[in-house]
Amino acid sequence: MMRRTLAWIAAVTAALLVGLPGVARAVTTWNPASCATGSFGPVTVDAQGHYLVPAHMALCEPYQARFNYAIALFHPDGTVPIVTGDKLQAYSATGPANVIADVRPAIPDPVFAFCLMRDVNTRVACVRVDTAPDGAATSTPIAVDDYLVADPVVYLRKQVVLIPNYCATCVTLTW
């Protein structure tokens, strides 16, 4: 029994170090364009409680397929805004790239924001979302240097995967 438990712990540790089987392990690199414009549309809330904000991002330089951008989520509580490689978006070869920023919080914050990020340090456009206790929401464009979106954005090439309770003597942390 002990041998099987140790083998299972070793397999889980290896999976954490090299990636889970069956999961694509492509390395995604953020290749910023030198010039882009962007905007957000009005927020809507669907029946499942997803806050949906249309976003539009366009190059103002010649298209290159390797260029990409991201949408970062900002909370006023000091939660670090994180962008992961699997969330990078491609520009459209012609016209704006249209995506929808989608967030479904367990408990809605009274206010949060999204920014279209040309690179980890360059906000192109930002929008503030105000929520009501009944789940209704409104959105307002804000300046890219607004205090609500002032926290530095952290970029991780891969999404962090936590596998809780992989051994009897471990402690699971929930955040």
Task: Count how many domains the chain has.
Answer: 1
Average the pLDDT over 90-102 and give the result: 94
Q: For 79-113, give one letter per residue: b (16+ CB within 10 A) or e.
A: eebebebebbbebeeeebbebebebeeeebbeebb
With respect to residue 108, please indicate whether it lies within any of the assigned structural domains: yes
- The answer to whether position 163 is within a domain reads no
Q: How many residues are given for the chain?
A: 175
Distances (CA, A) of 36 to 25, 60, 62: 29, 5, 10
* Residue 3 pLDDT > 50: no
At residue 11, the pLDDT reads 32
State the pLDDT at residue 14.
Answer: 31
Domain with 144 in it: 36-156
Domain harbouring 105, CATH code:
2.60.40
